[in-house]
Amino acid sequence: MYTSVVGFPRVGKLRELKFTTEQYFRGEISARELEDCARQIRLSQWKQMQEQGVTFIPSNDFSFYDGVLDAAVLFHLIPEEYENLHLSPLDTYFAMARGYQGANGDVRALPMKKWFNTNYHYIVPELTDHTQIRLSGTKPFDEYLEAREAGIETKPVIPGIFTLLSLLRISGRRDREEVGAELACAYRQLLSRFDSLGARWIQFDEPALVRDLTEEDVRLFCRLYDSILPSKGNVRVLLQTYFGDIRDVYPRIVSLSFDGIGLDLVEGKESLRLLAQYGFPADKLLFAGVINGKNIWRNNYAKTLSLLDQLRAAGHQTVLGASCSLLHVPYTLENETRLAPEISAHFAFAAEKLQELRELQTLAESGERDSSPAYRANQALFTQDRGALDPAVARRTQAIREEDFTRIPAFAGREQLQKEEFRLPLFPTTTIGSFPQTSDVKANRAAYRKGTITRQEYETFNRGKIAGCIALQEEIGLDVLVHGEYERNDMVEYFGENLKGYLFTEKAWVQSYGTRCVKPPIIWGDISREKPITVDWAVYAQSLTGKPVKGMLTGPVTILNWSFPREDLSLQECAFQIALAIRDEVLDLEQNGIRIIQIDEAALREKLPLRRSDWHSDYLDWAIRAFRLVHSGVRPETQIHTHMCYSEFTDIIAEIDDMDADVITFEASRSDLQILDTLKETHFRTEVGPGVYDIHSPRVPSVEEIVLALRKMADKVDPHKLWVNPDCGLKTRGTPETTESLTHMVQAAALFRKEY
């Protein structure tokens, strides 16, 4: 039985690529040094997969920033303003990803969006009237040849044409049909080129197929591939899908001339039904995604093997693999020195998943499973008691009553009370919570973790930072202040570390976007809060100023979505456990004089099922209730804020309003302000702070630019409901640019207030 890897992480085992890329951004090393680092990472990973006997090893799954951006550059989807900077190809690429401000010009970054239902982000390619689509890059060929030179035959991975076409933004006159035809031409050239290089397989990733498709979409898909596939020559083409099942297109796909089809048998609820109902062509390989590529629990061999038996019994030529790219899990357990062996035995990161593939391959081929030590060890993991359950937690979730989901009085009554309570100016200014995590802040935290400084030294330092942060915000003239979140490495991991039931890792990083990685904690058991978490910091910050300081918490849905969840408990149950823990924290903050509490639901949208028919039943019904459970116990005057990253919630706008927060801030500056129309049309009642500038780039916005944004906003949103804030937390930014940007923001708000 063959094995295949859809894609592998690429930031380096210890995030070497991240650090090297950031050195390059700072001008400390040359492009050649950066490329050397990348080459080493690629080589060592190919070797690793070769050693594990992987049959289909991916190439071109590597990226300096993002694979969709790579595809954009490959097909010359480079908007003019970036070409006009006249930078090197690498720097043009980075300018598209991050914006550019320097001697050659001043341009913004392209928008960034979440990659389907993951916490990975892709860059949205943009096509203007000037764009001339053609095969203009060489990256996939170079990397394929690089591997071959090292003696490793790979299958190059390319975003599929249908997915690329559905993700890119067309701002010119061409329609999707025309763009598709032009792209198909470039894809044909790509295939021919791989054919002439002698490549054996190529993988087209088409996750867009797991969303709801119309008949028109399906026809477009078939047309595109009918036009591309004749150019494949001797190259065999794998259509790789993931993140769900492809029910809308499956019956048609089996008759196209693909040589392999990759199906997700983990998240694809209907994949098996499709196979049973429509069969699978005998001349194609079935790439079966049976190992969960998104979670870190060990695969249950008994279940997987019986699934594989079933596929073989049906006569399918099966290739064993993970459900999606391993990009979404950390590299290896090797560096986790703090997890007890009996605990880490339950986990498989990317490297361990390669071992699982190998073991499953052996087991699938051998007749005597029960006597195999690997098999027996695996089964023991699923029969033993992990010691993770807490009956008190279960009792508490069972005791939740319907009224625990409802805050009293209703929104309009609270809004009035709060206007009187806070007496804020029109267009109040605030930030999203974190201030720059400068190296001294990180060093302080690291020293405390290592035990080289005492708790008191650690706290004294942070208090100094908080005092500085409050002073800075007062000087800038912001209206609602924050303490700066210096104690937090990450908005989810921090809470994970302070809640019972969580495990955390040391080096288990997962790429979020570009050089940014997150380290999702692991939900090991039932969750509860043992003592207050954030109260001391918030109270201290509030003691330094007469202006309101927001208490800062992360909401249950985000904590859950950015953790590796249990596989033995429903997500809803888990969300309610977390909600009760955070509810305790909310009430403690209020009890201690904090009058505004922000509960971030940055990731609420992220796990929205990709198919609309599943939205409510599988997710929204419990997600919104979990959020309401957190804040329903506060007094009417206490103002509840929430923050969401990305403004992609036009389609769930009613549900967002139904979270029943008092104020919501969200990202709006990197996407068009279309969300404002929706707010207006739907009579959105929650007060709103659409971000007025982009914090994902070091660029400093001008006062005029912000006034312009505000004008657009006030045009659509009731001015009495409008807040002014950046679009996300400031922790990844430097101090000088932050001070300057916020100063411009406050000046813009003041100007606009006068204008009004």
Binding partner of residue 70 among ligand GLN, Zn ion, none, CB cut-off 5 to 8 Å per kind: none
CB-nearer residue toward Zn ion: 37 or 640: 640
For position 643 contacting ligand GLN by CB under 6 A, the verdict is yes
DSSP 8-state secondary structure symbol assigned to residue 451: T
d(CA 679, CA 404): 28
- Given Zn ion, ligand GLN, none, residue 731, with its beta carbon under 5 to 8 Å by kind, binds ligand GLN
Nearer to ligand GLN by Cβ, of 58 and 484: the residue is 484
Nearer to ligand GLN, 202 or 482 (CB): 482
Instruction: Report what 126 binds from Zn ion, ligand GLN, none; CB cut-off 5-8 Å by kind.
Output: none
Tell which phi-psi region holds residue 41, choosing left (phi > 0), alpha (psi between -120 and 50) or beta: alpha
- Residue 602 as a binder of ligand GLN (CB under 6 A): the answer is yes
Nearest approach in angstroms of CB 669 to ligand GLN is 14
Q: Name the helix (H) or strand (E) containing 40.
A: helix 31-51
Residue 600's binding partner, choosing from Zn ion, ligand GLN, none, with beta-carbon cut-off 5 to 8 A by kind? ligand GLN
Q: Which residue is nearest to ligand GLN (CB)?
A: 729
> 108: how many CB neighbours lie within 10 A of its CB?
18
Binds ligand GLN (CB under 6 A): choice among 67, 548, 609, 729: 729
CB of 147 to Zn ion, least distance (A): 38
Judged by beta carbon, residue 184 or residue 602, the one nearer Zn ion is 602
Contacts of 337 (CB under 8 A, 6+ apart): 506
Q: How many CA within 13 A on the CB side of residue 498? A: 21
Cβ atoms of 494 and 487 within 8 Å: the answer is yes
Question: In whole angstroms, what is the distance from residue 727 CA to residue 429 CA?
Answer: 12
Instruction: Give the interface segment with ligand GLN, choosing from 50-58, 320-328, 375-383, 431-439 (CB under 6 A).
Output: 431-439
Q: Is the link from the previous residue into 156 a cis peptide, with omega within 30 of 0?
A: no
> Is 552 among the residues that bind ligand GLN (CB under 6 A)?
yes
Identity (one letter) of the amino acid at 10? R
As a whole number of angstroms, the distance between CA 127 and CA 110 comes to 11
Q: Which is nearer to ligand GLN, 244 or 726 (CB)?
A: 726
Range in contact with ligand GLN (rule: CB under 6 A) among 11-19, 24-32, 184-192, 727-735: 727-735
Query: For the CA atoms of the chain, what is the radius of gyration?
Result: 26
Residue with tokens 């904590």: 559
Q: Which of ligand GLN, Zn ion, none binds 533 (CB below 5-8 Å, type-dependent)?
A: none
Q: Which residues pair with residue 529 across a beta bridge?
A: 499
Residue with smaller CB distance to ligand GLN, 418 or 489? 489
Active-site option among 483, 696, 720, 744 = 696
Element (H, E) at 639: strand 639-644
DSSP secondary structure code for residue 601 in this structure: -
Q: Which CB atom, from 137 or from 729, has the smaller least distance to ligand GLN?
A: 729
Contacts (CB under 6 A) with ligand GLN, residues 17-36? none
* Residue 491 partner contact from ligand GLN, Zn ion, none using kind-dependent CB cut-offs of 5 to 8 Å: ligand GLN
| Cβ contact 168:159 at 8 Å | no
Alpha-carbon dihedral sign for residues 248, 252, 254, 257: negative
- Judged by CB under 5 A, which of 164, 728, 742, 745 binds Zn ion? 728
- Tell me the window of 31-39, 331-339, 581-589, 726-734 that interacts with ligand GLN (CB under 6 A): 726-734
Q: How far is CA 267 from CA 93, 117, 243, 264, 572, in A?
A: 33, 11, 6, 6, 17
In one letter, which amino acid is 503? Answer: L
> Which residues have a Cβ under 8 Å from the Cβ of 472 and sit 6 or more positions away?
435, 739
Q: Which helix (H) or strand (E) holds 114?
A: strand 112-114
User: How far apart are CB 20 and Zn ion at their closest, in Å?
Assistant: 27
Judged by CB under 5 A, the residue of 11, 580, 645, 679 near Zn ion is: 645
Q: Which of 249, 308, 432, 580 binds ligand GLN (CB under 6 A)?
A: 432
Contact call for residue 571 and Zn ion (CB under 5 A): no
Near ligand GLN by CB under 6 A, which window of 472-480, 618-626, 646-654, 728-736? Answer: 728-736
What is the DSSP annotation of 502-559?
EE--SS--EEEETTEEE---EEEEEEEE-S-SSHHHHHHHHHT-SS-BEEEEE-HHHH
- Centre a 10 Å sphere on the Cβ of residue 624 and count the other Cβ atoms it contains: 23
Q: How many CA atoms lie within 13 A of 466 on its CB side?
A: 24
Identity of the residue, 415 or 667, whose beta carbon is nearer to Zn ion in the bound complex: 667
- Out of 600, 606, 648, 687, point to the residue binding ligand GLN (CB under 6 A): 600
Q: Does 433 bind ligand GLN (CB under 6 A)?
A: yes
CB neighbours of 113 closer than 8 A, spacing ≥ 6?
A: 121, 122, 124, 167, 646, 648
Binding-site size for ligand GLN (CB under 6 A) equals 13
* Cα(632)–Cα(576) distance, integer angstroms: 13
The nearer residue to ligand GLN, 162 or 513, going by C-beta atoms, is: 513
Beta strand pairing call for 126-127 and 169-170: parallel
- Smallest separation (angstroms) from ligand GLN to the CB of 434: 3
**Applying CB under 6 A, does 336 fall inside the site for ligand GLN?**
no
C-alpha to C-alpha distance for 248 and 605, rounded to whole angstroms:
23
Q: What contacts 5, CB < 8 A, 6 or more positions away?
A: 49, 54, 56, 57, 58, 321, 322, 326, 354, 357
Please answer whether residues 357 and 2 qualify as being in contact, where contact means their C-beta atoms are separated by less than 8 angstroms: no
- Scanning residues 487 to 506, which ones bind ligand GLN (CB under 6 A)? 491
Q: Which of 157, 645, 668, 717 binds ligand GLN (CB under 6 A)?
A: 645
Q: Using the rule CB under 5 A, give the single segment among 99-107, 537-545, 700-708, 723-731 that binds Zn ion.
A: 723-731
Say if CB 545 and CB 481 are below 8 A apart.
yes
Binding piece for ligand GLN, criterion CB under 6 A, among 121-129, 473-481, 714-722, 724-732? 724-732
- 555 and 548 Cβ atoms separated by less than 8 Å: no
CB of 480 to Zn ion, least distance (A): 16
Which H/E stretch holds residue 252?
helix 250-253
Name the 3-class secondary structure at 203.
strand
Residue 503, both tokens: 């495990």
* Nearer Cβ to ligand GLN (203/489): 489
Nearest distance from C-beta of residue 548 to Zn ion, angstroms: 21
728 touches ligand GLN (CB under 6 A): yes
Choose one: 25-33, 362-370, 402-410, 429-437; the region binding ligand GLN (CB under 6 A). Answer: 429-437
Min separation Cβ 727 and Zn ion, Å: 7
State yes or no: residue 695 binds ligand GLN (CB under 6 A): no
Listed in sequence order, the residues at least 6 apart from 558 whose beta carbon sits closer than 8 Å to its beta carbon are 491, 492, 600, 601, 602, 603, 604
Query: Which option in ligand GLN, Zn ion, none does residue 581 bind, with CB closer than 5 to 8 A by kind?
Result: none
Least spacing, CB of residue 485 vs ligand GLN, in Å: 6
Q: Which of ligand GLN, Zn ion, none does residue 433 bind (CB under 5 to 8 Å by kind)?
A: ligand GLN
Residues 343-362 that bind ligand GLN (CB under 6 A): none
* Alpha-carbon torsion (70, 71, 75, 78), positive or negative: negative
Measured from the CB atom, the residue of 126 and 479 that comes closer to ligand GLN is 479
Q: Between residue 572 and residue 631, which ones bind Zn ion under the rule CB under 5 A?
A: 602
Least separation, in Å, of the C-beta of 649 and Zn ion? Answer: 13
Measured in Å, how far apart are the chain's first and last C-alpha atoms? 70
Question: Which position has the token pair 């035809």?
Answer: 181
346 has catalytic annotation: no
Kindly state the smallest distance separating residue 426's Cβ from ligand GLN, in Å.
24
Which residues contribute to the site for ligand GLN (CB under 6 A)? 432-434, 485, 491, 552, 600, 602, 643, 645, 728-729, 731
Q: Which of the residues are catalytic?
A: 696
The contact set with Zn ion (CB under 5 A) reads 602, 645, 728
